[in-house]
């Protein structure tokens, strides 16, 4: 089956080059990106009306389990909110917890997110609850209860903080790692990054309070980094050194973190990150493409998911926005002018049953 999205501004390739033209899809795969108007035959043609076609977002770090507790404990410390005895578990135990997770997933999709990575609490049972309502590709990184071997049930291990586990416990948790992902919160409320590096993580999340030595260790090892600046600000734990991180050779992704503390809206995330960088470092030259790349294709690479750059041969996984009539830069329009209501269509493969 051939489908054509015509009359669009296509953000082509990793450079998000603006192409005035069309995208041809055959059997779910991008067959052609062309300039001008489509003149072929034998296709269903969708008039994009001058809207922007861009890769769908990847929420590279989210905690969906506390979706039933929006702003629960908002004026408490981060420890009181999310530690082992934190109030977020009130949301986890809410009678509508699963429905709330499903609602968060729907909100993510409406906002153009079609892939995610959840750090999933609750052991094997918690993994099963998320899988029961999962409606898009994602990586579920579990956290075992007692001596559970969660690697048989999910995509890897998502460690809360290094301080919560003894060396012996960590060794036991990691012994069945195989080729699965292992990721860890590091440097969120305090600088524990060097200790976190001892488990050789596939990626680290936050680095909010990482000092120069800790950042240097991550950069030298080129460990991928997932940033959650809005959540860091919401929790009141500080802000990461965005300049050092974006100037490093590490692969950088973006996530929205706890739904309890932060709406899972990647459009808000990219706007906040871009403007925060420019304001903190008084740098009007910071390119929005770097943030957009972190929020889309970089996340797929960090998580080992299929590339969704808009180019021939890739799976069709993109958004189509309403036209931005007076916008002179479609990348900037996407990064700080468009909201979920401006997304006309989310084109992505159905989640396999």
Q: Is 265 in a helix, a strand, or coil?
A: coil
Phi, psi of 55, deg, nearest 5: -60, 145
284 within 8 A of 278, measured Cβ to Cβ: yes
Neighbours of 27 (CB within 10 A): 10
pLDDT tens for each residue of 239-258: 999 999 999 999 999 999 99
Half-sphere exposure (Cβ direction) of 302: Cα atoms closer than 13 Å: 35
Measured distance CA(324)–CA(322) in Å, rounded:
6
Half-sphere exposure (Cβ direction) of 37: Cα atoms closer than 13 Å: 5
Q: What is the pLDDT of residue 148?
A: 86
Q: What is the pLDDT of residue 352?
A: 38
Radius of gyration in angstroms for the set of CA atoms belonging to the chain, rounded to a whole number:
20
Laid out side by side, the sheet with 203-206 consists of: 252-254, 225-227, 203-206, 181-186, 156-159, 138-142, 113-120, 57-63, 257-258
53 within 8 A of 310, measured Cβ to Cβ: yes
Structure tokens at 99: 């429905």
- Ranges of residues in the chain whose predicted pLDDT is under 70: 351-353
Tell me the whole-structure pTM to 2 decimals: 0.96
Neighbouring-strand partners of residue 35: 21
Q: What is the pLDDT of residue 222?
A: 98
Neighbouring-strand partners of residue 319: 54, 346
Q: What is the pLDDT of residue 351?
A: 44
Residue ranges of domains in the chain, CATH in brackets: 2-55+308-347 (2.30.40.10), 57-303 (3.20.20.140)
264 within 8 A of 256, measured Cβ to Cβ: yes
Measured distance CA(68)–CA(180) in Å, rounded:
29
Q: What is the pLDDT of residue 164?
A: 83
pLDDT tens for each residue of 98-144: 999 999 999 999 999 999 999 999 999 999 999 999 999 999 999 98
Structure tokens at 179: 């080729």
């Amino acid at each position: 089956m051939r489908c054509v999205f015509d009359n669009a501004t296509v953000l082509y390739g990793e450079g998000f080059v603006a192409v005035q033209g069309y995208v041809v899809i055959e059997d779910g795969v991008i067959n052609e990106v062309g300039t001008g108007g489509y003149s072929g035959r034998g296709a269903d043609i969708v008039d994009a009306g001058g809207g922007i076609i861009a890769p769908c977002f990847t929420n590279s770090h989210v905690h969906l389990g506390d979706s039933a507790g929006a702003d629960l404990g908002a004026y408490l410390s981060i420890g009181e909110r999310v530690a082992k005895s934190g109030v977020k578990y009130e949301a986890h135990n809410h009678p509508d917890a699963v429905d709330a997770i499903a609602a968060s997933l729907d909100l993510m999709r409406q906002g153009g997110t079609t892939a995610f990575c959840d750090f999933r609490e609750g052991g094997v049972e918690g993994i099963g609850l998320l899988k029961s309502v999962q409606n898009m590709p994602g990586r579920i990184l579990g956290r075992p209860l007692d001596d559970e071997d969660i690697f048989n049930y999910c995509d890897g291990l998502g460690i809360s903080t290094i301080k919560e586990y003894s060396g012996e416990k960590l060794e036991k948790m990691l012994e069945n790692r195989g080729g699965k992902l292992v990721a860890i919160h590091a440097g969120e409320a305090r600088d524990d990054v060097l200790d976190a590096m001892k488990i050789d993580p596939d990626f680290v999340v936050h680095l909010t309070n990482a000092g120069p030595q800790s950042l240097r260790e991550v950069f030298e090892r080129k460990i991928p980094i997932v940033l959650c600046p809005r959540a860091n600000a919401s929790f009141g734990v500080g802000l990461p050194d965005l300049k050092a991180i974006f100037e490093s050779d590490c692969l950088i992704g973006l996530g929205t973190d706890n739904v309890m503390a932060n709406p899972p809206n990647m459009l808000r995330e990219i706007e906040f990150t871009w403007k925060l960088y420019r304001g903190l470092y008084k740098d009007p030259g910071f390119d929005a493409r770097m943030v957009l790349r972190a929020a889309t294709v970089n996340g797929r690479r960090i998580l080992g998911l299929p590339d969704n750059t808009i180019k021939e041969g890739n799976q069709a996984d993109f958004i189509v926005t309403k036209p931005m009539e007076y916008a002179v830069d479609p990348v900037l329009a996407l990064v700080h002018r468009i909201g979920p209501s401006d997304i006309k269509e989310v084109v992505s493969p159905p989640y396999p049953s």
